[in-house]
Structure 1
Amino acid sequence: MTICRTRHGGRIAVLVSLLALLMGAHHKAEAATTGCRIEGLPNELQCGVLKRPLDPARADGPQIEIHYLVVPAMARNKQPDPVLMLAGGPGQSAIGVAPMVMNRLARLNNRRDLVFIDQRGTGKSAPLQCADESRLSLAEVADEAASLRRIEQCREQLQKLPHGDLRFYSTTLAMQDFDAVRAELGAERWNLIGGSYGTRAALEYQRQFPQRVRRTVIDGVAPPDLVLPESLSADVQAALDAELKACEDEPACAKRYPQLRQQWSQLLASLPRTVSVRHPLTNEPESFTLTRTQMLRTIRGPLYVPSMTSLVPAAIQAATKGQFEALAGLGSMMGSNKGTRLALGMHFSVICAEDAPRMGKGSEAPGRDTGRVDAELYERVCKTWPRAEVPAAFYQVPPAQTPVLLLSGGADPVTPPRHAERIAKLLGAKTQHIVVPQAGHGVMSLGCMGEVLYRFIDAKTDAAALPQDAGCAVKIPRPPAFQPIIRTEVQP
């Protein structure tokens, strides 16, 4: 009897201990977040903060706070694997873009938590923000030397911050932060969705923590070995040439803009020149010297979105007549949303560490018109910008252990299909690459793609996850060129 009592007592003690551990783990996951409100989202959400060492090699050194947002699943019987959204840039705040992407993730949110983490250097996570330049005069924006001085001043100010050692803002370190958040939330695995630079982040997380990934969606693939400042030239040139050719092939556009290609060449040849326009945001009249560099950066913005690209022929034609308001307006639209504003300190920290050291070592030929405009800017900035140590393995893409869905827009001026094609081969058999020929930068935003993402992630088995049918998006036509309304006066 004594022996029996001892055995039962031992079993009870073990059960009590296990129950305490389970309750403790559950309590930790629940206590990690508190109720919060995010502008642009109607319901109360859960926000959390996790302290991490700025330098992982110095656990007792400066600490930074990693802020994250959890949008709880709507259903009570939710799935155990959340969906992690990785923001673009580099430099976007994931929490800042959450209101803009919730509609396309709504069905996934029925039974899965959605997680948004402000990557170190962005949002509220040890932010590396430079001054907002959206209301600078157009002359100040066009002045390359002044722009470089502002970046240099920003760097000096950032380095004075408690978290201002810019050597510790690499993608590799950030993904270690992300995995710490996963552990804090108590998720064994989660699903990754990354767009633009977020695809590089997703690939790096998958490289470091393959056992923690269930499914991956990467939209507008920016591989780790992509030298962005150099590839951008060729890709923007290809997108611009495609738009000029599309106008020539579209009867209505060719009739309305019969000399569009020649007008574009003449416009570039006429620069620099003094122009007069109204500021797109302040509406104040300004005169400034428009340079070739500024013109190329202005025309790049609308190429990201086909509906905006359709306005390019009219803007070019107007500019050849001395009317630059349309071009100025198009150029300002991409940076006008507060949620998509880049933390430039984080942006340069990533690019200067991961891309700049490899510039000039590849075979990427610059575009005919675009040249080395962006490469020269990053070369100058990165000369004095502190750099993180990037492991050699960062540039490798190992075969995927779980299904990966790659998405590309055929009209994308920065991450066109050619980059995803190469990465799909490296990832291996568990991948599918979907190309939407007439889409720009970002395919997930297309209406029917939310259903494709849902089917891919919700599939019960890896075998059922791929392939996916995206015919609804692939057949979307290119928007026709904008035709200005010609007003005619009616005689009384």
Structure 2
Amino acid sequence: MKRVIWLMCGVLMIIMLPTSTLGNSTVSPAHAQEGTVPYIEWLEKCKFKMIFLPPDTEVLGETITCGILHTYEKPNEPSSAPIQVVFAILHANTTTPRNDPILYLAGGPGSSALFSIDVWVDTPLRMERDIILVDQRGVGYSTPSLSCDAYMRSYYSRDISNITRCVNELHARGVDLGNYNTVNNAHDIGELMTLLQAEQGYESYNLLGISYGTRLGLVVMRDHPQLVRSAILDSVYPLVVDHYSELGPNLQRAIEAVFVACERDEACNRAYPNLEQVFYEVLEQLNIHGGSVSFLNAVFSALYNKNYFQALPAAIYLIHEGNRHEGENYLYFGSPNSDFEGYDSYYDSYDSDLFDEYIAAYRKFNHANAFFMALQCQEEFYFSSYDIAVETAAARNTDRTIADSQLYDVERMAEECPHWFSTAAPESSNERIYSDIPTLVVSGEFDPITPPQWAKIARETLSNSYYFSFPGLGHGVIDGHPCVSKIFSDFLDDPYTQPDASCRAEMRTDWYIHPNYR
């Protein structure tokens, strides 16, 4: 779901060497049952280069083990092309782990789980359970890779010839884009869970999905309920919502939530009074002088993460007074009082060549743009349209400038989707998911793309579910506050009992108060 991926949002990062099998590893014959698809190929060593992690934190191949699920592009059809789904197991920080691991489903669609493996190393969720990270079919280090440099270059130029080149390259490699969808994605997850039960002794799984990962998680719950013990759905993207028609209204809702939260906070309201009025005056200024779309796109991205949006009121005031450069820098690079402070000392200590290698790997592996387009066109956009988006924005009284800033994406999808994939997915791709699996459904107050209302929609057909919205958080609440970690852990320990969420009352946004307004 994330349209703008921030390079420096997470500074603790790793690189996996770019080979089709994670390096030249020796396969254990006992586990590589070649010819019997699906099967798991276990790698004796994960071929990682570590950046920003102490060298003694993990022993790759021991505390973290890696493998490859070998399966078919078209499930259960040996005549279809073979594909490899890469995964890693971060073993629990205990000698007596529980036999119900956490299986993480990344968002995007198209984001690599393995590229962000670092953020899972020290999570409290790893205290008693293994954590399984999977690069979904076509994504990250899985093969074939549905990442296309030509398309990235054409994103803003909207050069259709680059899309044609990308699609032709994929077809020449034997890729059938129609097979890269959520149902097949869920089938891979089901195969992996079944094989790991036999080879690792797992009993059942706790799904943890974020953004698109929640949509994938819902389909796994529907198609493989016998394998799932519980599910945590963070920043929910239900099958039944119309993502593209709601882009503008959802952004405006999140912005207005910031106005309300700032007004309720004594320090924020004193520093930035009448924030809503000042914001819309900024839009008027930018409409006259240019820059409203880039500003709103920066606001959109900042609302994902507290390290950015806690400086949003300051940015609005600075731009209003003519200091656009400083104001927008806060949106692009983070708040001065964010968790990012102090990272400069880390950067200074690292080898520049290694960091350059990280940048190259980031561009190649972090997000599979062709996977995103193929899946979103099939399952989402073909059930919507540009006209529906315009009508929805008007019906929900969305500010015209805000609506127009998001209609760029809708217009782009309308132009490009016929060149990626020409037909819509089955109607089942937009149906409600019914389940009695214990499910924790959560959302962030300032989330600009998967609003709290979507979480409530998903919960309506999840009979054993609990819902919590977290104040002062954006998209992906999992690592936003210790209160979230506590609720997640309590739920996993006893998924049939509603966790105590009283700690939410202590959550506050640490608004950045600029010296000019103190």
Q: Under TM normalisation by the shorter chain, which class is it? A: 0.7 to 0.9
Partner of 1:165: 176
Against the structure 1 CA distance between its residues 111 and 270, is the aligned structure 2 distance closer, same or farther, given a 3 Å change threshold?
closer
Q: For the aligned residues, what is the CA RMSD? A: 3.4
Q: Distance in 2 between matches of 1:258 and 1:90?
A: 39
Shift of 1:291: 4.2
1:130 aligns with 2:140: no
Q: Distance in 2 between matches of 1:121 and 1:179?
A: 17
Shift of 1:192: 0.4
**Cα displacement string for residues 157-187 of structure 1 (whole angstroms, at most 9, x for unaligned residues):** 6535525332221111111111111122224
Q: Distance in 1 between matches of 2:130 and 2:423?
A: 33
Further displaced range: 118-127 or 318-327: 318-327
Against the structure 1 CA distance between its residues 176 and 454, is the aligned structure 2 distance closer, same or farther, given a 3 Å change threshold?
same
Q: Residue 81 of structure 1 aligns to which amino acid in structure 2?
A: D
Shift of 1:308: 1.7
Against the structure 1 CA distance between its residues 448 and 380, is the aligned structure 2 distance closer, same or farther, given a 3 Å change threshold?
same
Q: Distance in 2 between matches of 1:165 and 1:133?
A: 17
Match of 2:476 among 418, 423, 442: 442
Matches within 5 A, 1:126-275: 126-131=144-149, 144=156, 146-149=157-160, 152=163, 155-156=166-167, 158-160=169-171, 162-185=173-196, 186=198, 187-258=202-273, 260-271=275-286
1:69 aligns with 2:88: yes
Against the structure 1 CA distance between its residues 470 and 354, is the aligned structure 2 distance closer, same or farther, given a 3 Å change threshold?
same
Question: Contact 1:155/1:385 (CA < 8 Å) preserved in 2?
Answer: no
Provide the secondary structure at the position in 2 that maps to 1:235: helix
Q: Distance in 1 between matches of 2:283 and 2:150?
A: 29
Further displaced range: 79-88 or 94-103: 94-103
Shift of 1:52: 1.9
Against the structure 1 CA distance between its residues 313 and 291, is the aligned structure 2 distance closer, same or farther, given a 3 Å change threshold?
same
Partner of 1:370: 402
Match of 1:379 among 414, 419, 429: 414
Partner of 2:343: none
Partner of 2:514: 484
Against the structure 1 CA distance between its residues 213 and 333, is the aligned structure 2 distance closer, same or farther, given a 3 Å change threshold?
farther
**Cα displacement string for residues 465-490 of structure 1 (whole angstroms, at most 9, x for unaligned residues):** 3211122234302333x222359xxx
Partner of 1:121: 138
Shift of 1:112: 2.5
Shift of 1:150: 8.3
Question: Contact 1:151/1:381 (CA < 8 Å) preserved in 2?
Answer: no
1:94 aligns with 2:113: yes
**Cα displacement string for residues 118-146 of structure 1 (whole angstroms, at most 9, x for unaligned residues):** 01121111222233999x9xxx98xx4x1
Q: Distance in 2 between matches of 1:165 and 1:233?
A: 33
Shift of 1:427: 0.9
Match of 2:104 among 70, 85, 104: 85
Against the structure 1 CA distance between its residues 417 and 177, is the aligned structure 2 distance closer, same or farther, given a 3 Å change threshold?
same
Q: Distance in 2 between matches of 1:132 and 1:450?
A: 40
Further displaced range: 196-205 or 380-389: 380-389
Please list every run of 5 or more consecutive structure 1 residues that lacks an aligned counterpart in the other structure. 1-23, 275-289, 488-492
Q: Residue 465 of structure 2 aligns to which amino acid in structure 1?
A: T
**Cα displacement string for residues 36-84 of structure 1 (whole angstroms, at most 9, x for unaligned residues):** 2543563322111122222236422221111111112343443322210
Q: Residue 308 of structure 1 aligns to which amino acid in structure 2?
A: Y
Provide the secondary structure at the position in 2 that maps to 1:42: coil
Q: Distance in 1 between matches of 2:328 and 2:138?
A: 30
Aligned length, in residue pairs:
434
Question: Contact 2:40/2:67 (CA < 8 Å) preserved in 1?
Answer: no
Provide the secondary structure at the position in 1 that maps to 2:59: coil
Match of 2:58 among 35, 38, 42: 42
> Identity of counterpart residues, as a percentage?
25
Matches within 5 A, 1:361-440: 364-365=392-393, 367-368=398-399, 369-371=401-403, 372-386=407-421, 390-428=425-463, 430-440=464-474
Against the structure 1 CA distance between its residues 301 and 80, is the aligned structure 2 distance closer, same or farther, given a 3 Å change threshold?
same
Please list every run of 5 or more consecutive structure 2 residues that lacks an aligned counterpart in the other structure. 1-28, 34-38, 335-357
Q: Distance in 2 between matches of 1:472 and 1:82?
A: 26
Q: Residue 122 of structure 2 aligns to which amino acid in structure 1?
A: N
Provide the secondary structure at the position in 2 that maps to 1:296: helix
Q: Distance in 2 between matches of 1:152 and 1:380?
A: 11
Partner of 1:320: 320
Partner of 2:305: 305
Question: Contact 1:236/1:300 (CA < 8 Å) preserved in 2?
Answer: yes
Shift of 1:27: 9.1
Against the structure 1 CA distance between its residues 163 and 237, is the aligned structure 2 distance closer, same or farther, given a 3 Å change threshold?
farther
Shift of 1:342: 2.6
Q: Distance in 1 between matches of 2:294 and 2:169?
A: 26
Q: Distance in 2 between matches of 1:117 and 1:169?
A: 15
Larger of the two Rg values belongs to structure: 1
Shift of 1:410: 2.1
Against the structure 1 CA distance between its residues 243 and 154, is the aligned structure 2 distance closer, same or farther, given a 3 Å change threshold?
farther
Q: Residue 133 of structure 2 aligns to which amino acid in structure 1?
A: F
Against the structure 1 CA distance between its residues 448 and 243, is the aligned structure 2 distance closer, same or farther, given a 3 Å change threshold?
closer
Further displaced range: 349-358 or 300-309: 300-309
Provide the secondary structure at the position in 1 that maps to 2:191: helix
